[in-house]
Structure 1
Amino acid sequence: MIEIQSANNKPDYLLIEQLADTIWREHYPTIISIEQIDYMLAKFNSAKAIESQINEGSQFYYMVFNRVPAGYLAIKNEDDFLFLSKLYVKKEFRGKKIGKAALQFIDEEAKRYNLKSIQLKVNKYNTKSILAYEKLGFKKVKAMITDIGKGFIMDDYLLEKIL
């Protein structure tokens, strides 16, 4: 059974921080450097960073599969689209339709807010994730490079799903 739980307090933020640390270290070393992983975990996925993003309007959730924390997501309501800033599933839970359930939840949230689309950014070299998003109706809108500080960049595609 898949559950999506709202992250509302420090223990939830710490849980997501732990999930992020595990997921990023198992998934990204073939895509970005360990130094960039460390930097991005601290800057965007620490409990402190999560709390700050929530204070700025983001909503964080963690996914549970058979009562075991399996991943997390974050969304933010923008003017006419829902921005999906994070969607990560632990390796051992991939292929169990958790990502698909999360995207159905995100679709419902966007429709609830009467938004026209969902947008996300994905690393250009994260080919499996790109294929998964495309299967679920997302299309590449543009390529973009974003300076995130300390000499690091994000080399991404902007993807969009029209609702």
Structure 2
Amino acid sequence: MIENSFEIQQLNDFETIQDLGSRTYFPHYTHLWYDTQGIEWYMERCFGDNALKADFENPDLLYFAVRLNGKNVGFLKLVKHKTPLENQPKESFLYLEKIYFLKEATGLGLGQKAMAWVDEQARQWGINKVWLMAMNSSLKTIQSYEKAGFVKIATTRLDDEVFCRLRAELRGMVVLQKELF
């Protein structure tokens, strides 16, 4: 049996992020949108040159590739010092904004490994809480986050005007948080 090599590396170039964004998003999430224009809008919003330029200008925002056997199979987008709720000390929080995987890399336990890595990274940065948001309709995803130690702390809804191309019944979100000890 060949041993699998798992690693996470920081990403610093637009092309790799855009490629991973496209290859990880399309197989999993296109059903969320009313039409292809919505998908194109979202991809530009998240992975377009202007969006990535703004991201790279933020020193608290970082991208990482999840690699298996030397190949990129997913990515993480982390934002340091962003709080899930108002009036909280920013230095305490790490926002896991995105965790996406290629379809063929799902079900291999990489998500749990990546989440453990995020926890360790937060500790190294002196951060003691990690949070994320998930669609309230993604019950399996929410269960996997709860299995990783996250608890629901709030519910919200994506802005109906901004996200008008996203199916209305899928705009509900849950906010989950994990305290690191």
Rounded to whole Å, the distance in 2 between the matches of 1:47 and 1:28 is 21
Aligned position for 1:103: 115
Say if 1:124 and 1:157, in contact at 8 Å, map to a contact too.
yes
TM-score by length of 2: 0.80
1:132 aligns with 2:144: yes
* Greater strand proportion: 1
Number of residue equivalences: 160
Equivalences for residues 26-41 of structure 1 within 5 A: 26-33=27-34, 34-41=36-43
Rounded to whole Å, the distance in 2 between the matches of 1:127 and 1:35 is 27
Equivalences for residues 74-93 of structure 1 within 5 A: 74-78=77-81, 79=90, 80-93=92-105
Residue 32 of structure 1 and its aligned partner are, at CA, apart by 3.6
Letter in 1 for 2:16: L
TM-score by length of 1: 0.88
Letter in 2 for 1:36: G
Bigger mean CA offset, 44-53 vs 73-82: 44-53
Say if 1:31 and 1:125, in contact at 8 Å, map to a contact too.
no
- Which ranges in structure 1 are unaligned for 5 or more consecutive residues? none
Match of 1:54 among 45, 53, 56: 56
Aligned position for 2:76: 73
1:24 aligns with 2:28: no
1:128-153: CA deviation from partner (whole Å, max 9, x where unpaired): 22111111011111111132726356
Rounded to whole Å, the distance in 1 between the matches of 2:100 and 2:163 is 24
Letter in 1 for 2:19: Q
Gap change, CA 1:136 and 1:95, over 3 Å in 2: same
3-state SS of paired residue (1:29): helix
Rounded to whole Å, the distance in 2 between the matches of 1:47 and 1:149 is 20
Gap change, CA 1:35 and 1:140, over 3 Å in 2: farther
- Which ranges in structure 2 are unaligned for 5 or more consecutive residues? 82-89
Letter in 2 for 1:58: L
Residue 119 of structure 1 and its aligned partner are, at CA, apart by 0.6
Rounded to whole Å, the distance in 1 between the matches of 2:37 and 2:143 is 26
Once superposed, what is the RMSD of the aligned Cα atoms?
A: 1.9
Same amino acid, percent of matched pairs: 24
Bigger mean CA offset, 82-91 vs 39-48: 39-48
Say if 2:10 and 2:64, in contact at 8 Å, map to a contact too.
yes
Residue 89 of structure 1 and its aligned partner are, at CA, apart by 0.8
Rounded to whole Å, the distance in 2 between the matches of 1:119 and 1:47 is 26
